[in-house]
Amino acid sequence: MGDHFEKGQHALLNEGEENEMEIFGYRTQSCRKTLCLAGSIFSFGILSLVFYWKPAWHVWANCIPCSLQEADVVLLRTTDEFQTYSRKKVMWICLSALNSAFRLNADNPFITDEESIINRAVRKPDLKVRCIKVQKIRYVWDNLEGQFQKIGCLEDWLSSAKIHLKFGSGLTTEEQEIRRLICGPNTIDVEIAPIWKLLIKEVLNPFYVFQLFSVCLWFSEDYKEYAFAIIIMSIISITLTVYDLREQSVKLHRLVEAHNNITVSIYGKNAGVQELESRFLVPGDLLILMGNKVQMPCDAILIDGSCVVNEGMLTGESIPVTKTPLPKMEGSVPWRRQGEGEYKRHVLFCGTEVIQAKGARSSTAKAVVLQTGFNTAKGDLVRSILYPKPMNFKLYRDAIRFLLCLVGTATIGMIYTLCVYVLSGETPGEVVKKALDVITIAVPPALPAALTTGIMYAQRRLKKRGIFCISPQRINVCGQLNLVCFDKTGTLTRDGLDLWGVMPCDGNSFQEVHSFTSGRTLPWGPLCAAMTSCHSLILLDGTIQGDPLDLKMFEATTWEIVVSGDDFHKGVPGCAMVVKPCGTSSQVPVEGIAILHQFPFSSVLQRMTVIVQEMGGDQLVFMKGAPERVASFCQPETVPTSFVSELQIYTTQGFRVIGLAYKKLEMDHHISAFMREQVESDLIFLGLLILENRLKEETKPVLEELISARIRTVMITGDNLQTAITVARKSGMVSESQKVILIEANETTGSSSASISWKLLEEKKHIAYRNQDNYINIREEISDNSKEGSYHFALNGKSFQVITQHFSSLLPKILMNGTIFARMSPGQKSSLVEEFQKLDYFVGMCGDGANDCGALKMAHVGVSLSEQEASVASPFTSKTPNIECVPHLIKEGRAALVTSFCMFKYMALYSMIQYVGVLLLYWETNNLSNYQFLFQDLAITTIIGVTNIFVLVLVVQLSVCLFILFADIPELYRRLDLLCTPILWRVYIVIMLSSNFIVSLVVEEAIIENRALWMTIKRCFGYQSKSQYRIWQRALANDPSWPPINQTSYSDMPGCGRGVSYSNPVFESNEDQL
């Protein structure tokens, strides 16, 4: 197919998304369909089989191109490197069934929102909707836009005001039924695939079809023994494969089964509160959330009240997360982009558990259904498992190319055989058999089975080490890894944090550190109040639950948490969270502190804020977060002059440092009237909370092992940049002799363009305080030998985003030595992995599941250290929660890869030897006997191909061959159709074989495996690797101006902006809008 299309025939589906596809319109033509049917009949189903393997050929043969509006069949093609085709029929949804019940009028909008995709999708006057279903997602034809659009979710352009206005009072019954019919049921339905369907799908694999052809040919030639052997091997292989697929199908079905059987309460505009099954939910329904422990059956936007949610299914960590209602803001800005921070803090995701729900003015919270079915967060996770991204591995590409070469060789042999036997006067049937025989000799049917041998045994060994694999083919890829990315917290360092101490601030100077290890309680004051109340802890079944950091901080105060009643205390609302001093804290002058409102922690904002009420006292605001961010919201005179130096002292030692601040709140307005921007201003800096996060014992030895094997290691973390640099040095990722260069990039501001600066880090000098994320010491003067030795770049997520958007020509240069990436959001982690892949690195990603799921899926090899549901999509999961699994994976991958190479060479050489031998015999119109073929095919080749005791089998085979050669048993020779030769000839054969073995061994060791020799040959002939990262390495090695140090460049300068040599148009970061 060319790239010339009829008008309206071609379009993009999911443009700019990960699952982007091209879509082509076709119309079925009766005469073409009849001809194809006749062809299938006359070819005994071969044509249908080809169409099954090649969906695009089926469409091109049966249909003619047309516009998408007229199409009854669409052809889909992925826009990635694989260009995979799939075929879908266009279906119709009829609304006529609802016409009698609701008397639909074609002249009026079917739902209240006239701009909704549903109104634009209904074809009038016959009230029909055209749709297709692709990878479990339904798309409807937009008559106005002239394209297929996703259905089953609220439109992205809706503003928060419109969401409150249109859906705040629920949907009418009529609108619910229309949406239900067009959007489909709210189910994540993964059916257990029937065994017969799995069996047929496996049997129709081209490999097994070729084996069936070979077996039929061998039976016709009375070569039954090997035919039965191949049949038995195939049956075992098919049975094991079908069993594994069935087990995976059952596990996935059980994972989502409970999702479809939830009873929920919704509020209808006319019907009021009603209960119904979750499968009847539609986008726009108003959910009523009450009580505790509710499983979310859909994605929903919280519009009233607050919820505490366990998002372990998504993040891998069972840490309660507080959700706040979507504020009602005027304007037409889409709700996802309004305000500062993440829109996700207002969204209750499908599959998560609502631990606690409470309304602002009642006991119930309200949420608008955002997405249903496979459009939801859980649905997306399940789809990523059902439709994984294909793996493009060079070994498999080369294997297919070599098989095609073998097919070409077999074709030449067939022509040769036809000529020889036709000229010798053989019967046509015999000539055809002999010619087809050449195919089964040149292309060994046992080759694919032999190639999987190494993978099978490697998987078994990995399982013994507690490493489980859901994608066995990726084991071979493990052997190719040359760069491994690691998350920091929970992966390189321990999960738990120990509270080391707190450094109070008085005026504009720090006081003596208060150590909690001594057992002394912190004296009462604003700092103590902040530690007791500035958190997201909840009380569930009498147990305090929440973030481990918050728990450690609160436990150090020895206070307790209670839930207020209706008459708890004057001025304290009912069901509010109240912290109170316990009996031992007698010197505290307040009865307690009620937490009135929370602005939850956001990884993008790097802070959280609470509004509290002292019982009988003032209303206060407390903020906790990254010290740099907290200080930026404080009055400058309250921030100590030694802030930067003190912060560096602790971060360079690997401590986790948290900043605290507060202010008194004027009580002129109701709490709900305050915006976050109003509350978070003119704060008073309180001090630094210092927590210890130690390296895991296994981290340093593993990283040293990887580095000694010349495998790059990279850290991607959401933590502070200085802490990340310290951990990198302590772990050995950056040695003490190596330099670290800080890269800071800033967005366009006012008249100045985007800038990027390079600074060499030093340990003892200090810089003045600036309102930035990076507070590390910069070396102002550098010596002439600054470029000697290796160096590493360190940057944060904000700088990475600016570089990607404004300095893309510099990005590959930075990535060549980029080792430390801090303050990275989940989306930026995935993008970074993808950028490394574009440089032709084989990238591994190891994380504990917290915010790493996207990167784990994106990497060539993802290793999850978490057994939560979020790690289901990761190819490998380790039961041991440390990075020791990474070297094991690489070793087993290399072992499997070497085995695959060896088996490939062995099987190919065997087939070529037999091929040449048989063709020589054909010249004399002779052939090997069936027993001779059996001995070669089964005893010599197949047994070695499916066993891991290669040497033992080889010794046994050699012994049997020598026995047969010198046994002189006439009856044995007669049965094997062997000709008895003189003893001297047999001695000559042994001498020739021994000589061949010695020569092969010398050639293997002295030439083929001689790395130094090949490196010398490469240098002599000027051969250089074509991998992108190797090309950049050579270019940077010869660039005297790299790396730039103590320099600042701007995007409008020549050579600093977007270059044509390297660009990434796919990545458009939305982190600033989150």
Which residues does the annotation mark as catalytic? 487
Q: DSSP for 652-712?
A: TTTEEEEEEEEEE---SS-GGG--HHHHSSSBEEEEEEEEE-PBPTTHHHHHHHHHHTT-E
- How far is 488 from 652, CA to CA, in rounded Å? 15
Token reading at 447: 């080759």
**Spatial distance between the Cα atoms of 438 and 523, rounded to a whole number of angstroms:** 90
Contact (Cβ atoms closer than 8 angstroms) between residue 217 and residue 226: no
The rounded radius of gyration (Å) of the Cα atoms in the chain is 35
Q: How far is CA 1008 from CA 339, 711, 1024, in A?
A: 63, 24, 19
CA distances from residue 189 to 117, 164, 179, 207 in whole angstroms, order as listed: 24, 31, 19, 31
Instruction: Write phi, then psi, for 440 (nearest 5 degrees).
Output: -70, -20
CA distances from residue 810 to 745, 847, 1049 in whole angstroms, order as listed: 12, 28, 11
Q: Residue 119 corresponds to which amino acid?
A: N
Give the strands of the sheet with 292-295, arranged side by side.
Answer: 292-295, 353-358, 306-310, 320-323
Note the Cα 683 to chain centre separation in Å. Answer: 40
Torsion of CA 940, 941, 945, 946, to 10 degrees: -60
Q: Look up residue 238 and give its amino acid.
A: I
Query: Reduced to 3 DSSP states, what percent helix, strand and coil does the chain have, rounded to the nearest 5?
Result: 40, 20, 35
Cα angle 1044, 1049, 1053; round to 5: 125
DSSP 483-540: EEEE-STTTTB-S--EEEEEEEEETTEE---EESTT-PPPPSSHHHHHHHHSS--EEE
Q: Is 1036 exposed, middle or buried (0-12, 13-18, 19+ CB in 10 A)?
A: middle
How do strand 818-822 and strand 791-796 relate by DSSP bridges?
A: parallel
Regarding beta strands 861-864 and 843-847, do their DSSP bridges make them parallel or antiparallel, or are they unpaired?
parallel
Q: How many CB atoms lie within 10 A of CB 537?
A: 22
Contacts of 219 (CB under 8 A, 6+ apart): 227
DSSP one-letter code for 751 = T
Query: How far is Cα 871 from Cα 879, in angstroms, rounded to an integer?
Result: 12
- What type of residue sits at position 730? K
- The residues facing 24 across adjacent strands are 10, 75
3-state secondary structure of 980: coil
Cβ pair 535, 558 in contact under 8 A: no
Q: Which residue has the tokens 């901080």?
A: 553
CA-to-CA distance for 834 and 390, rounded, in angstroms?
A: 15
For residues 932 and 938, what is the distance between their CA atoms, to the nearest angstrom? 10
Distance separating the N- and C-terminal Cα atoms of the chain: 41
Considering only CA atoms, which of 202, 203, 209 is closest in space to residue 46? Answer: 209
Six token digits for residue 713:
């290691």
Record the tokens describing residue 610, joined without a space: 């609470």
C-alpha dist (Å) from residue 580 to 543, 561, 868: 15, 6, 35
**Dihedral in degrees, nearest 10, Cα atoms 1034, 1036, 1039, 1040:** -120
